Amino acid sequence: AAKEAGRNGYHFHSPEMNRKAHERMELEMSLRQALERDEFFLEFQPIINVGGDCLVGAEALVRWQHPAQGRVMPGTFIPLAESSGLIIPLGEWVLRKACEKMKEWRDAGLPPVKLSVNISGRQFEQRNFTALVDEVLKETGVDARALQFELTETSLMKDAGATVSALYKLKELDLRIVVDDFGTGYSSLAYLKNFPIDHIKIDRSFVMDICDDPDDRSIVEAIVAMANKLNLDVVAEGVETREQRDLLLDLGCHEMQGFLFHRPLPEEKFVELLRDVRLCTLPAAL
């Protein structure tokens, strides 16, 4: 029918649109099976304290090894997982896998590195989310202080009341909370005061042009100053050049993550790094 319409000059759905919609549907179907087929895996991107020249921890980033399409990046499938609800089981898989890896590494005698896990707003809205987190920590024997959650401003602002109580429950477990992609959420800054937040991560979009765009530079400067006043740690993501690195240091931002230091690493490479890296803090109890 689409072809006929095309021939007559009326096409409500262009072949291109049909193809896209079809691809999306297929991707969603294979996403459903991907968990059972164990097609997801994690990569780990180191977070460095550049001033102190030590490893703060790493961010766990999910990847999908699609049987036909090869590696699919989260920018493609996370939105799909969110709209289809699959983010709930996928997010649980990521959390559990990150904790299992921490346990494996610790059992292998590697230094107790901290991992940051991205949590989607949809997961966070689950009633029993804190219970799930508690359960995974107990199952894997991981110390909650070795785990931190990255939540975007947008997901934090959805339902401020529910968010505050969920965050306090996570704090009771001793988890650290990071605001991811800070500065991109069009949100009130009041939440920084009202929510138990430990850390903000300056979005890559501000870091990108920091050397050329005085406005971006001022924004980063203001974020760092505010973080210092509020006693929040601050980390910059997407650092790609030495110039960005040097400028960030000048502005008082010491923690950085980006291709300049390391790309997200496959587990073997990350473990290699762990073998001879210096961790920034080694809490005695961990």
Interacting residue ranges for ligand C2E, rule: CB under 6 A: 45, 61-62, 73-75, 78, 91, 94, 118, 120, 150, 180-181, 204, 237-240, 257-259, 264
| Closer residue to ligand C2E in complex, CB, 70/109 | 70
| Closer residue to ligand C2E in complex, CB, 30/120 | 120
Residue 153 binds to Mg ion (criterion: CB under 5 A)? no
- The pair phi, psi for residue 251, each rounded to 5°, is -80, 0
Q: How far is the CB of 203 from Mg ion (least distance, A)?
A: 5
- What part of residues 6-65 is at the interface with Mg ion (CB under 5 A)? none
- The pair phi, psi for residue 72, each rounded to 5°, is -110, 135
Which residue in the block uniquely carries the two structure tokens 């059992």? 107
Query: Can you tell me whether residue 40 is helix, strand or coil?
Result: strand
Cβ atoms of 168 and 194 closer than 8 Å: no
Q: 181-185 long-range contacts, Cβ below 8 Å, gap at least 24?
A: 181/152, 181/153, 181/237, 182/153, 182/223, 183/153, 183/219, 183/223, 184/152, 184/153, 184/154, 185/152, 185/153, 185/154, 185/156, 185/157
From the list ligand C2E, Mg ion, none, pick the one residue 46 interacts with, judged by a Cβ distance below 5 to 8 Å according to partner type: none
Residue 150 binds to Mg ion (criterion: CB under 5 A)? yes
Residue whose beta carbon is closest to Mg ion:
150
From the list ligand C2E, Mg ion, none, pick the one residue 75 interacts with, judged by a Cβ distance below 5 to 8 Å according to partner type: ligand C2E
The residue within the footprint of Mg ion, chosen from 92, 153, 181, 255 (CB under 5 A), is 181
Residue 120 binds to Mg ion (criterion: CB under 5 A)? no
Q: How far is the CB of 18 from ligand C2E (least distance, A)?
A: 27
Q: How far is the CB of 230 from ligand C2E (least distance, A)?
A: 21
Catalogue the E-assigned strands of 67-193: 70-72, 115-118, 147-152, 176-182
Q: How far is the CB of 67 from ligand C2E (least distance, A)?
A: 20
Sorted by sequence, the CB contacts under 8 Å of residue 117 that are 6+ apart come out as: 59, 60, 94, 95, 98, 147, 148, 149, 150
Residue 180 binds to Mg ion (criterion: CB under 5 A)? yes
From the list ligand C2E, Mg ion, none, pick the one residue 94 interacts with, judged by a Cβ distance below 5 to 8 Å according to partner type: ligand C2E
What are 178's strand-pairing partners? Answer: 150, 199
| Closer residue to ligand C2E in complex, CB, 150/233 | 150
Catalogue the E-assigned strands of 50-134: 54-66, 70-72, 115-118
Residue 155 binds to Mg ion (criterion: CB under 5 A)? no
| Closer residue to Mg ion in complex, CB, 34/47 | 47
Interface positions with Mg ion (CB under 5 A): 118, 150, 180-181, 204, 237
